[in-house]
Structure 1
Amino acid sequence: MDDNKTFTLLGDKFAAASIDFSRPMRVAFITYDGSVKYSAANGFDEIQDLLPFLQSKGLDIHEEIWDDPAVDWTAYQVALLRMPWDYHQKFEEFKAWLTKIESLGITLLNNYETVRWNIDKHYLQQITNAGCQVIPSIFLEQGWNDGLPLLFDALSSDQIILKPCVSGGSRDTLKVSRTAFQEAQAVLAELLTQGAYIAQPFMKEINDGEWSFTFFNGTYSHTILKKPKAGDFRVQQFFGGTIERIDPQQEHIDQAASFVSAFAPETLYARVDGLMVDNNFMLMELELVEPFLYLAYHPEALGNFYRALTEKINELAEAEIA
């Protein structure tokens, strides 16, 4: 990709979204020390191109690995969570890092309260309790050993999905059938020594695709549809899943937006993932920590993100002056 050409083409389009340079704020672009499993699309790579693009627009923004002990966090006023994708593997360290940078007065995007709430899938219980449409869920606390047959009955399903309450990218996720659960039960028992799990019915609608609605500063931006490869249930690209842009009906955008307004009202970014069940959107997950934003899959997505980020930075700068 010709980066200069891309940035030139994008320059005039986003001119209205600008930083007030009289009140500069230094931003840490948070990543991790690991391999990237997503690829570019439509001429822009969210991983390789986003940071240089933001820098080309004049932002004082620099990549930092969240758990790099050499980072001087006192040099930053803002930390933008983009790719701390190993946080679930270093959970206690990540929580300690959040406490550390919060104590330094650094603003986190998304904010600390939201991130701490969202890093554990128990948050889905709160959303369910509020009467929202959520895929049915049962939480198995660490050490649970009541036996898988009870779950098939409780979830009224002959196939269930089991995934860690703290995880990402389908790590340690199991699909189990009622007729062949014995081996999975031993595996699950071992996994439950490490942390809690969530059990959900396998939804056949996953074969039609998982919908991801993305919002910036509470405003709808774009939607993509992720489908698993034949014979699988995982939609991630590195498992063979496919991604396509989709233009949803307004009623479905409104349904997704209701989760953001109720549970993520102050977020810079929010991704609402779910399935269409009888033409009704049902939530699978509300992604508020480090979601892939699919900025390359819609022509307006990158501009929407950039404008939202500059709005946040300018708000913070104005508050600091006041």
Structure 2
Amino acid sequence: MPPKIALALCNAWPEPTPGEMPYIEALRAAGATVVTGRWNGDQTPFRDADLVVLRATWDYHRDLDAYRAWLAALPVPVANPVPLVLWNLDKAYLEELAARGVVVPDQAVLPLDLSAARATLAAKGWARAVAKPTAGASGHGVTLVTPETLEELWPEIAASIAPHRLLLQEFVPEISSGGQVSFVFYDGVFSHAVQLLPQPGEFRINGKFQPRKALFEPDAAALAQAEAALAALPGRPLYARIDGIFRGAQFILLEAEVNEPGLFLDVAPAAGARFAAATLTWARRG
């Protein structure tokens, strides 16, 4: 019997994005039944699925406790696996990956407190830093600060980050010149990489900031570093996006996305078939 794949979306994004269509079409071409449902809506589409695949659950950070509870209560297999997704929801995971040898920016996870942020900037000696919530999506609450602007920007920062903790990272200037490179993997196998260049005067490369996107062809050394970051995760994902910048030949991990990442099928539509094949393999495993 063909597997039933339920794609998890959300109330804020209740329909698949155009970029997901190569994946959905490839699933259907392979004989799968594909349905969609909202994690914070009617649960009927998920109840008898062979596999729930987390896709556009992009409003999860607005009610993180409810999202965690929903994941834990799903009665069917989930991709990515729930323990791995729960681990990934708090960006403090970067500290764990650093302890496993993955190179990440210098950073600190702090309570949402101006004095703590000010003291950290001073102790680290950072001229610029990025403030962001430890739980967030699509660039929500991401702000560039300096020791001089921190206090002025604090009300805005606190309002956008609460009730989460603060992740303060040293600004990596390479993001402005070389952009971010995102490596996409399906079931542990490299699929494609995309370079995202920010708009002039911008450093954020989330979709709402309209970065320029192009396929990126990594050399063996670059790919090996992304694969090492993937291997450091505490579980094997169906899909993963390993985001970072290059400082010379050194890859610096910015995020390892295994919850609901965009996978740039608009840039690499042929990858939809690879994602579909991996999904069906997972669904048949149960």
Q: CA deviation at 1:37?
A: 11
Q: Which of 1 and 2 has greater Rg?
A: 1
User: Map of 1:30-41 to 2, 5 A cutoff?
Assistant: 30-35=8-13
Q: 1:204 aligns with which of 168, 173, 179?
A: 173
Q: How does 1:152-167 map to 2 (within 5 A)?
A: 152-167=121-136
Please state how far the C-alpha of 1:192 moved relative to its aligned partner: 5.6
Deviation at 1:147, TM superposition (A): 4.4
Q: Which amino acid aligns with 2:244?
A: G
310 and 38 in structure 1: CA distance in 2 versus 1, 3 angstrom threshold: closer
Q: What's the CA shift string for 1:20-42, capped at 9, x where partnerless?
A: x4xx4322111112249998xxx
Counterpart among 80, 93, 110 of residue 66 in structure 2 = 93
Residue identity opposite 2:201 in structure 1? G
Match of 1:256 among 222, 226, 230: 226
Instruction: Verify the 8 A CA contact 1:296 1:302 in the aligned structure 2.
Output: no
Say if 1:118 and 1:288, in contact at 8 Å, map to a contact too: yes
Q: Which residue of 1 aligns with 2:250?
A: 280
Name the % identity. 24
Distance 1:46 1:240, change over 3 A: closer
TM-score, scaled to structure 2: 0.92
Q: Alpha carbon RMSD of aligned pairs, Å?
A: 2.2
1:264, 1:270 within 8 Å by CA — same for their partners in 2?
no
CA 149–77 in structure 1, closer or farther in 2 if over 3 Å, else same: same
Higher relative contact order (CA 8 A, sep 6+): 2
The residue correspondences of 1:97-246 to structure 2 (distance < 5 A) are 97-101=70-74, 104=75, 106-141=76-111, 143-191=112-160, 193-207=162-176, 208-246=178-216
- Counterpart residue number, 1:55: 28
Change (3 A) 1:144 1:192: farther
Runs of 5+ consecutive residues of structure 2 not aligned to the other structure: none
Q: Is the 8 A contact 1:37 1:238 kept in 2?
A: no
Structure 1 stretches of 4+ with a deviation exceeding 6 A read 36-39
Alpha-carbon distance in 2 for matches of 1:258, 1:28: 30
Q: Secondary structure at the match of 1:152?
A: helix
Query: Match of 1:71?
Result: 44
* Cα 1:60/1:159, change in 2 over 3 Å: same
Kindly state the Cα deviation for residue 302 of structure 1 after the two structures are TM-superposed. Answer: 1.8
Q: 1:38 to 1:251 in 2, by over 3 A?
A: farther
Distance 1:62 1:38 in 2: 10
Contact 2:244 2:255 (C-alpha < 8 Å) held by counterparts:
yes
Establish whether residue 294 from structure 1 lines up as the match of residue 275 from structure 2.
no
Between the two proteins, the alignment pairs up a number of residues equal to 285
Q: Which amino acid aligns with 2:8?
A: I
Compute the displacement of 1:65 (Å).
1.1
**1:27 correspondence with 2:5:** yes
3-state SS of paired residue (1:211): strand
The answer to which of 48-57 and 218-227 deviates more is 48-57
Gaps of at least 5 residues in structure 1 are 1-20, 40-44, 317-322
Residue 209 of structure 1 deviates from its aligned partner by: 0.6
TM superposition score normalised by structure 1: 0.82
Give the AA of the match of 1:26. K
